[in-house]
Structure 1
Amino acid sequence: MKLPSMTPRSRLTLALLWLAVLALAGWWLGSRVELSGDLRKFMPAAETRGQKLLIEELGEGPGSRLLLVALSGSDAQTLAMQSSALRERLLPQPQFKLVANGGDSGLEAIPEGLRPYRYLLSDTADTHRFDRAFLSAELGQRVQDLGSPAAALLEPLLPRDPTLETLKLAEAWQPANAPQRLHGVWFDRAGREALLAIETRAAGFDPKGQQAAVDAIRAAFAEAAGKSGSRLTLSGPGAFSVEIGGRTAKEAGWIGTIDSVIFALLLWLAYRSWKAPLLGGLPLASGGLAGLAAVTFFFDGVHGITIAFGFTLIGVAQDYPIHLFSHQRAGLSPWASARALWPTLGTGVASTCIAYFTFLVSGVDGLKQLAVFTIAGLGVAALTTRFLLPGLIDPTPRDAADSVRLAGLWERFARWPRLSGPAYYLLAAAAIAIAWWAPGPFWQNDLSRLTPVPAPALARDAQLRGELGAPDVRYLVAVEARNAEVALQVLERLQPALAKLRADGAIAGFDSAARYLPSQAMQRARQARLPDRSQLQRAFNGAVTGSAFTADAFDGFVDDVETARTAPPLAPHDLDGTPLAAAIGGLLLEHNDHATALVSLNGLKDPAAVARVAKQHGAALLDLKQASESLVAAYRERVLLALALAWVLLIITVWIALGQPQRVLRVLSPMVLTTLLILAVLRGFGVELNLFHLVALILAAGLGLDYALFFDHAGDDHAEQLRTLHAIIVCSLTTLLVFALLALSSIPVLRAIGSTVALGVVCNFVLALLLVRQPATRKAFNT
């Protein structure tokens, strides 16, 4: 069907309608897109115990929520006052579960409603009977206490707690390796920095929540410090994620700005028209919004990585209008030009979409999102280029084939020797040998190597963790049980063995939920040892007789013991809303069908001994570093399987499109050799390959296929060869500059993508010329 030619007015109307639809779609998506920062969506399904725990710890564990704070730059007394002021300002704020600086007595951990339960939480009833002799000894000790400097602290407790169970619990619950105290708060060993440990309510994968917490801490410190000149150091996963997010946004901002300027300049120079950059951006914008809409429709939330990485991947869509612009010439309708290009363009689009379609079978939610985004984006960008963009193109543009400079460049390329079969296989074999035998590990399994956090910041974090006695972030003892009660019982049996390991020097300390909340079985056993009201009253009256106290000085003591004796035992959910909930929240993880209890370790020196003891008690020592490496390896296997399937489907697609085995081999050969050369160059420079290199290889392969398809499409027609060369030069330059900038990024992920694709652009362009271009016929040259 021949479409009518578009008048300038109709072209303007179509452009305005297109822009209006994009604006409306952008507004609609902006009100409905729910962003997610949960990195677990880009992890494969965990299989081993360690992998499952790692996935939980990445987002919900206390380690991901812990922020470490150091105040410095003033004298110790000033820093102590500022530490207390900072704590007072942060405690009431809802984004924090715990703000600890060593300045509290620990009594706040037991709110009024839990005070009677102190006799079930304390181990006093395990070794003493509440008889007259025990109570007399306790009252005698209280007389001495009231004459000590601690009298002011103890006096308010005595009326209801003459045995000071509350104070015993507060002391027992103090951190096992707490730092020294100066002026009532925590300080480092040198006495120069006041220290705080803050646990956020926001999960570690919640960038907005972590940003809000960091902002609140900085604002509170600014108020507390005033003009004193004190400095705040903030460390921990949340602080790092905020810093990384800010740096990533900053780099993405300037890279995006430079990319946009370069894209506009190149298109203006290439087509001598200010309209070209504007028109060329319409299919790209349409594809981006379509990809975002597709992910929003098929998934509950859109991951931030999907958006950032997806827009990078569909950047290949900028090539579609460039091909249309370069092949347009006077006397040929833009609709006819688009129709003639469509089989080649469609084949390239279909092949690229097939490559990403295989991610749908990866079993990883994040990769599925990325596949849907890319497929929808590339498809819409290609369709709008085919069916909408021709209506906006000037039907009488400058023909690229008329360029004398371009013809001279093509003549120089034509003199390049074609890459023969033996040379091709020799080059491929050399690339394989370099990639395989290059020194150093082939794959990068260490997730920490992908962090853009500077080494000094990581060293500072390790120093603060050491000063605060924070637990080891690599090793944990884990207990899997059918419910929390069984898990707590296992912990209680395990604790004496761990205490012996501590005495033997295998570990410096440990912490578990059983330290704060005994099992219900243990609580019932303690209830059975408590006397009833009448027995306790007689024993206490006898103890008071002859003491320095009067019987009415301890109103409430007998009532509290009776309440503890008859009340239902405490369960984990009974601690909700209390400071104890924060203490055990990260150490006792309850699920619908099971519970996981964790034992955090300090100063682990003998993992084998700890593993042996844990196994004897039905627990396991987990190495989260090993778990992360095995998870990465499992992820890589899924991606490699997806790539293998992609190659098979890609070959089938090209075969169907071209039909001739010789043409299929000629089109695919540059892409294959480029992939091998990229691997050889990266490995030759000692680069360990990670998952992002693999995903970037797919993008590089898609670009190479496009270049080869269009050179094949040009055949031996000299004019078509020049137009194709013009299009591919513009495409490759824009892509090369974009990804070369990414290769200069300080973010390892962006650097991996940028370096891989930039190498691919260069290799694909050169190899397409050496392998696919055909010599122009004499008739074509003379025409």
Structure 2
Amino acid sequence: MTRQNPKPLSSRQRLALALLWLALLAVAGWAIGQKLELSGDLRKFMPSAQTPAQKLLIDELGEGPGSRLLLVGLAGADPETLAAQSAAMQAVLAAPARDGQATFAFVANGADSGLDAIPARLRPYRYLLSPTLDNKALDAGLLADELAQRVQDLGSPAASLIEPLLASDPTLETLKLAERWQPANAPQRLHGVWFDRAGREALLVAETTAAGFDPTGQQRAVDAIGAAFAQARGDSASQLTISGPGAFSVEIGGRTAREASLIGSVDTLIFVLLLALAYRSWKAPLLGALPLASGGLAGLAAVALGFDGVHGITVAFGFTLIGVAQDYPIHLFSHQRPGLSPWASARALWPTLGTGVASTCIAYLTFLVSGVDGLKQLAVFTIVGLGTAALTTRFALPGLLDSSDNGGAPRDVADSARLARLWRALARWPRMGATAFAVVATLALAVATFAPGRFWQNDLSKLTPVPAPALARDAQLRVELGAPDVRYVIALEGRDAEAALQASEKLLPALQQLRDHGALAGYDSAALYLPSRATQRARQGKLPERATLQAALDEALAGSPFLPDAFAVFVDDVARARAAPPLGPRDLAGTPLATRIDGLLLQRDGHATALVSLSGLADPVAVAHIAQRHGAQLLDLKQASESLVAAYRQRVLWALALASVLLAVTVWVALRAPRRVLRVLAPMALSTLLILAVLRGLGIELNLFHLVALILAAGLGLDYALFFDHAGDDRAEQLRALHAVIVCSLTTLLVFSLLGLSTIPVLRAIGTTVALGVACNFVLALLIVRRPVGAV
């Protein structure tokens, strides 16, 4: 019994169906846009951390203060002008947001004295936070010396700063804390603000409330700095520099979007021109785009529904990978011919097309067991997208095509004289036998294995598209501002915040010795801002009772120019500090101190980690030794990132191994003949070896994105081989298969060659790999899978 084809549609019906399809795509796009939440958190593409350094790296990558720090430089004008602009920008950026959504946790330019870090409600705690009384007693002798010094201070230029504090703080404990909390290598101050050592550039530092890899939040912060500079600049010739992870992510995102937009536009133009030229019809590009758009939207919808947020990399990668779906309508177009309805043609192609789709989806299905959220998203996007594109090509697109039954006259590409001449030329190519295959495979494997240089690239910094001058500028600003080292950090573990703070306090004297000996230039610890409760209680014990303190104060005031009741507020503050409960991290919420401590004291359920950031680290070995003696660990975040990449790659390689087995099984089930299975799989396997050999021969170290691209290249190669095998030894079918594969390979080759020219390392890795794969797979499919015909 023969299967009946659906009744052919009239021209009006086909137009209505096409418009309905477009309307459904538009509605779907709108609905997905309402649900879609893009994420820029790179941790979604990281495997589970195993070591303490890896866990810290994952935490710091998204939320740590190091990722939120923006470094700002103003240059190009005289110092007075730059100082005024710095002050104006600081005032604007630090002002409370009108909508209550603060963009910056703090903005500093050296203009403040540091007093703002201690809110008024915490001022009585100054003797609990300061180490002054650790070795001294608050008695008449100390007070007399301090009051005598205050008399001199009131006659100095610092009087305006001292006088507001005097009544409540005659020992100036507040100023001592402010000085203690200044950066170890703070820049010099000119005209009241920070400047570089040459005195030609005003410096500011801002910590954003948004995470470093939150593209929307960082864009808002960069825009705010730019607007504040434009407002402060006036008519001067000053210039603005913004650096830091957030600024880099904004620049990378903008450049990636621009290049992706350009490549997407060129891709669309190439697709339209090639299909119009190949099929001599303006309808072909429009109809061919429908399954591709359907697949893209379906993949995006599946990820949006299945995950909390869709990562930007998933979208970028997904639409690149789903580009293989453009081959599906091309195969259908090339196999059209008079006397055969589009439905019959689609049905005849479906076993071959379905096998290719299933094989590619299986390759990405293995990412679902990778344990990496980003790869799971990519797998869902690709599988749903390719499946949708294939199904719409099979069950919807034929209804829109011209055929003899509905008054159309489809052209048979097998009748092309040019294609016949090309086929005769290709037919003279020698077929690759088992011996030649083995020799080429052995040579490729040898080159890939023994080429000089490292095989794998583990350094994430080499994947950054940030230009070298920008990285050098960032390093310069960090040195000038005394910003902490981004590679090394000391970690102290504790069962809770109190234990971690106590451990930090024990380490501080050793760190100071290391600083004195030049092993490091500076350090920063939460214990410098918030002593442990035990230390606070010990300092409370040294505070005299009200009557004792009043008696000592009266004795110190004897013969002093100060009035007897001038320091009543001071006595009240000490009494409150003596009776107050010790401060904990939660008590600092909403204060500038909380911002500093949050990045240095990481608290989790039942566990806390105190961090000590380092600057100017000159002797890592000495610092690591001292840290180990105090039960701490010097963590190398660069090494942690490399080990994380290696673990990630191991997961991907296991996924690829599993995919290879499943792919072979799928082809076996479809073809059921050992020789055909080997013949179809051989070009893909040899192409993979040749790609590796070429890349390694050119000295390119392979990264994770090369691996992902190898899967795409393998999927494309399998399609080419399957359709040449499908053609068998029938000359006309071979010509149609050749036509389809040429159009498919040309569109893919041109698009990915453009990606290979990108300035973005990730896009360049994908583009180069897939372009090589297309070329190798096309040639090898002809040499291995093509069958001789009886007559040409």
Note whether the superposition's TM-score is higher than 0.5.
Answer: yes
Residue 225 of structure 1 pairs with residue 233 of structure 2: yes
Give the match for residue 10 of structure 1. 13
Runs (4+) of structure 1 moved beyond 6 Å?
Answer: none
Give the match for residue 151 of structure 2. 143
1:590: Cα distance to partner? Answer: 1.3
Residues 286-326 of structure 1, C-alpha deviations (whole Å, 9 max, x = no match): 00011011111211110010001000001000000000000
- Taking the TM superposition and a 5 Å limit, the aligned residue runs for 1:11-26 are 11-26=14-29
Residue 315 of structure 1 pairs with residue 323 of structure 2: yes
- Taking the TM superposition and a 5 Å limit, the aligned residue runs for 1:253-402 are 253-395=261-403, 396-402=409-415
Q: Which amino acid aligns with 2:544?
A: P
1:56 to 43, 54, 59: 59
1:159 to 155, 167, 173: 167
2:758 is paired with a residue of what secondary structure? coil
Distance (whole Å) between structure 1 residues aligned to residue 131 and residue 510 of structure 2? 18
Give the match for residue 211 of structure 1. 219
Distance (whole Å) between structure 1 residues aligned to residue 305 and residue 482 of structure 2? 47
Give the match for residue 702 of structure 2. 689
2:476 to 458, 463, 468: 463
- Taking the TM superposition and a 5 Å limit, the aligned residue runs for 1:546-565 are 546-565=559-578
Distance (whole Å) between structure 1 residues aligned to residue 25 and residue 494 of structure 2? 53
1:612 to 580, 600, 625: 625
Residue 597 of structure 1 pairs with residue 605 of structure 2: no
Residue 450 of structure 1 pairs with residue 463 of structure 2: yes
1:690: Cα distance to partner? Answer: 0.2
Distance (whole Å) between structure 2 residues aligned to residue 173 and residue 609 of structure 1? 25
Residue 76 of structure 1 pairs with residue 89 of structure 2: no
Distance (whole Å) between structure 2 residues aligned to residue 693 and residue 300 of structure 1? 27
Distance (whole Å) between structure 2 residues aligned to residue 251 and residue 49 of structure 1? 37
Q: Which amino acid aligns with 1:643?
A: L
More deviation, 101-110/658-667: 101-110
Distance (whole Å) between structure 1 residues aligned to residue 199 and residue 521 of structure 2? 22
1:155 is paired with a residue of what secondary structure? helix
Give the match for residue 45 of structure 1. 48
Residue 407 of structure 1 pairs with residue 420 of structure 2: yes
Distance (whole Å) between structure 1 residues aligned to residue 431 and residue 563 of structure 2? 108
Give the match for residue 113 of structure 1. 121
Residue 636 of structure 1 pairs with residue 658 of structure 2: no
1:212: Cα distance to partner? Answer: 0.3
Residue 189 of structure 1 pairs with residue 197 of structure 2: yes
Q: Which runs of 5+ in 1 are unaligned?
A: none
Give the match for residue 700 of structure 1. 713
Residue 678 of structure 1 pairs with residue 691 of structure 2: yes
Residue 494 of structure 1 pairs with residue 494 of structure 2: no
Residues 123-177 of structure 1, C-alpha deviations (whole Å, 9 max, x = no match): 1221222222221221112112112221111011001111111111111111110
Q: Which amino acid aligns with 2:55?
A: K
1:104: Cα distance to partner? Answer: 0.8
Distance (whole Å) between structure 1 residues aligned to residue 706 and residue 413 of structure 2? 36
- Taking the TM superposition and a 5 Å limit, the aligned residue runs for 1:655-734 are 655-734=668-747
Give the match for residue 406 of structure 2. none
Distance (whole Å) between structure 1 residues aligned to residue 170 and residue 719 of structure 2? 84
Distance (whole Å) between structure 1 residues aligned to residue 103 and residue 291 of structure 2? 43
Residue 484 of structure 1 pairs with residue 492 of structure 2: no
2:565 is paired with a residue of what secondary structure? helix
Distance (whole Å) between structure 1 residues aligned to residue 200 and residue 149 of structure 2? 38
Distance (whole Å) between structure 2 residues aligned to residue 545 and residue 188 of structure 1? 47
Residues 332-354 of structure 1, C-alpha deviations (whole Å, 9 max, x = no match): 01000000000000000000000
1:753: Cα distance to partner? Answer: 0.1
Number of equivalences: 779
1:552 is paired with a residue of what secondary structure? coil
Give the match for residue 570 of structure 1. 583
Q: Which amino acid aligns with 1:66?
A: L
1:707: Cα distance to partner? Answer: 0.2
For the aligned residue pairs, the C-alpha RMSD in angstroms reads: 0.9
1:545: Cα distance to partner? Answer: 2.4
1:542: Cα distance to partner? Answer: 2.2
Distance (whole Å) between structure 1 residues aligned to residue 39 and residue 283 of structure 2? 37
More deviation, 197-206/684-693: 197-206
Q: Which runs of 5+ in 2 are unaligned?
A: 404-408
1:551 is paired with a residue of what secondary structure? coil
Give me the identity figure in percent: 74
1:593: Cα distance to partner? Answer: 2.5
Residues 211-263 of structure 1, C-alpha deviations (whole Å, 9 max, x = no match): 00000000000000111111001111111111111111111111111110110
Q: Which amino acid aligns with 1:737?
A: L
Give the match for residue 423 of structure 1. 436
More deviation, 533-542/91-100: 533-542
More deviation, 449-458/602-611: 602-611
1:149 is paired with a residue of what secondary structure? coil
Distance (whole Å) between structure 2 residues aligned to residue 204 and residue 485 of structure 1? 28
Q: Which amino acid aligns with 2:36?
A: V
1:44: Cα distance to partner? Answer: 0.4
Give the match for residue 437 of structure 1. 450
Q: Which amino acid aligns with 1:28?
A: A
Normalised by the length of structure 1, the TM-score is: 0.99
Distance (whole Å) between structure 1 residues aligned to residue 214 and residue 622 of structure 2? 37
Distance (whole Å) between structure 1 residues aligned to residue 320 and residue 696 of structure 2? 24
